[in-house]
Each structure stands twice: as structure tokens, then as C-alpha cells.
Structure 1
Amino acid sequence: MTNRKIEYWVIPPEADGEFVAQMEEVLEVYAQPYDPSCPVICMDEQPVQLHKEIKCPIPATAQHPKRVDYEYERAGTANIFMFSEPLAGWRQATVRERRTKIDWASEVAVLMEGRYAQCPHVILTCDNLNTHTKGAFYEVFEPERARRFVQRIHFCYTPKHGSWLNVAENELSAMTRQCIDRRRFGTIETLKDEVQAWAIDVNHSQRGVDWQMKIEDARCKLTSIYPKIKY
């Protein structure tokens, strides 16, 4: 029996006008010059399984790497919220127990009343998850406060099966490789400390994101997803 390697991809649909329309909207937003009065923010999220060590790991020595027992105890789950402002070279990673509408709206509100308090508007790029909605603010805040958030946020949704268009997903991927992979976190507090330390370090060492894909490139290279024009 032949063992064939399987590669997992986010495969876009073929000839889908809705996908194309949302993709081009995102690409148009990324092509805009930096505007501090209306910054572009990207957000994504990622669940994490918490694991407690059953046996104390053996510290690394000159002869051996750190040794961790293969057994562990499940300690629940957590969710990482990633926010990134590509042109400013800034990202923020926060951790919550859940990924509900309340959690999402609360995280966005902290940014809108903190880092972006003086911005008349922001453009928020995110996926079309049912928790990423205007209505979520009304489930957390009084109507007047919720309306103020909604008035200032312009949503730009990535298309379904088009998560590769979200810069925050790329940031999550980098954080996973550099901070989370092959590590066990027994508590949310430990996970919070580690991802916050990662974000601070990366913010100090990296510049803005150089996004290369333009609408013209998409129309040339992704012709299969553009519908055939009907006359």
C-alpha cells in the first residue's frame, strides 16, 4: 500500500463572483497609503489547547536538551485574539477563555478606546465569522456606546476560503511557529505572558508588512476564480 503525502491548502472556489468581489475589496484596502486618521487593522483568532505537565521536565544540560514526559493533563482551552496594523508594523496578541461575541467586542472596544481613541474611523479587516458583527457591540455595551463603535468601524470582510488575505492570519502563523509550537501551557496566565512577550519583542524588531498582491496581480494570476462574463 503506497503512503502518499497529503498537503492541506485553503482552496478557493472556481468562478465565484462573491469571492472575487470581497477579495478585490481587501486588496484595494491594502493598497491605500497610510492614513493615521483611518488606519487599517487586521484581526484573526486561534484556539489553543492547554496542557499541564504530569511529571516535572528535566532541565537541559550540555549533553541533553530539555526532556519532557509524553504524558500530560488536559487543562481546558483558550483563545488568542491577534490584531495587526500592517503599515505601522504593530501587532497585539491577547488571550481569553472563550471566543464569543462578548469576548470579540470587548477586545475591539479596548483598542477603539485606547490605541485608536483619537482616530475618527478605522478599517477592520477580518473573516466573516458570526461573532465578528456590529450587533456584537450591542450585546456588551449600552446602545449609545455601541453605536459610537459601529459608526467609527468600517468592516472589510475576507471571503470564505480566503483567509490567506488576512494579514493577521500570517501574524498568527508566525507567532505559532516562534512562540507556541512544541510547548505546553498549563494555565491561561502563562499563555498570556508568553504571547504578550512575543508581541512586544516583534514590535521592537520588525518593520511594517510588505503586502505584494495587488488587484492587477489577482486578475492575472487567479483567472480561474473570476466568472466568465455573460453577455
Structure 2
Amino acid sequence: MFELKSKILLATLTGALLAGGAAVAQEAGDQAGFYARAYGGISTLSDTKVSVGVSSASGKFSGSTLAGGAFGYDYEGPWRAEIEYTYRSSDVKVPDSFAGGGDYASTAILVNGLYSVGEVGPLRPYVGAGIGFTREVDFDLTKQKGPSAPPSSAVGSYSSSGRLAYQAIAGAEFAFGDRWSGFGEVRAFAIDSPNLSGPGGKKLRADYQTFDVLVGVSRRF
């Protein structure tokens, strides 16, 4: 389902890039310069199978958070380029026989290209895409509480770094000053094949695909 949503979003963004209308788009972003952004929001991690060695279970995620920032350059015209650093974290629920719970988190550094598609009243809609790598992906599985809790070989902290990460972006911003603006975005984000290493050489496998909703502020320099 996530792959289908991602393909639909990517196709929509590509169509917008091709048919956005250069004459209208040139109206936005007509002053070149550097900018910085800060944002936060909700990151919905898709439910997935969690495998540790030969054991596996269905993982259901909740309590998702997202926070990050970016520094970029707004070119004279519709294009912007930026580098971002974003943290995501989600609580996980798995069957009691597998583990008592835990969380799945990541920090990622991506380079984004953003394209303004014109102006709608006070709003400046834009689309974009990004690619980069993870600084860290971390999956912690905790023990069940209580003296009668069954043992589990899956419990432990599993991590990896340097995995390929990519995303599609759609958003809109609005100015509320000469240098300040606010914005809102939706994103489809994924990490490629996050196989994680844990205690005693154990390996954990779980897909990492999110749908994000975020808001933030931007300041031009």
C-alpha cells in the first residue's frame, strides 16, 4: 500500500513539475538568497513484519514524532535546493511472545530540490524530492515487565547507519514578513533495506516507510 501511495505521489509531483507553467512559477521566488527552516510534525510509520533471526512478528506503530531543520538557497525563479537533517521516532507494539514493545527511530541527512508551481492567493505551493543517507537507524525491543514474563531472544538494541534514504514532498508556504514565512508539507519517506545489527551478532529486518505531515517556519538571509 505504501509503495502504491509513493508512486502516486511521485507521479503527481512529476506532472506538476512538467505542467506547472513556467510563466506563473517565475512570479514566485524572484529574489535569490539563502534561507533556513525549522519544522516538526507527525511521522506515520507503516506497519511491517519485524524479523530477528528465524523469529518474526507483526509490528504496529504509534506515537510517531518528527523534528528537523534545513539550510538552502532560493534561486531567482521557481527552484530551491537545500540540505536537511530530520529525526523520526515511533513506538512499536509486537506480540507478547516476541517482545514487550520498543521504538523504531532514524536520523537522516537529505539533499532536496524544491519547485514552486505558482501562487494561490497568499500561498506559494511547491513540490520536490530528496535523496541522501541515514546517520543512524535504531530499533529497540524491550523486555516484558513482570516476573512471569516469557523470555524472548528478540530483545535488544539494533542499529545501522549509511543506508540510502529518499522522499517525495508537496507543500505550501505563506509570508508573514519581509524575511519570515510559515509552511506546511506532506512527505513520503523511505529507507532502503534497513538490516540492523544487534547484540551477539543478531540481525533485525524491518521496513522503514513513513507518511509525514509537518509545519514549520522559514527565514531568509
TM-score scaled to structure 2, two decimals? Answer: 0.28
Greater helix fraction, Structure 1 or Structure 2: 1
Q: Which has the higher strand share?
A: 2
TM-score, normalised to structure 1, is 0.27
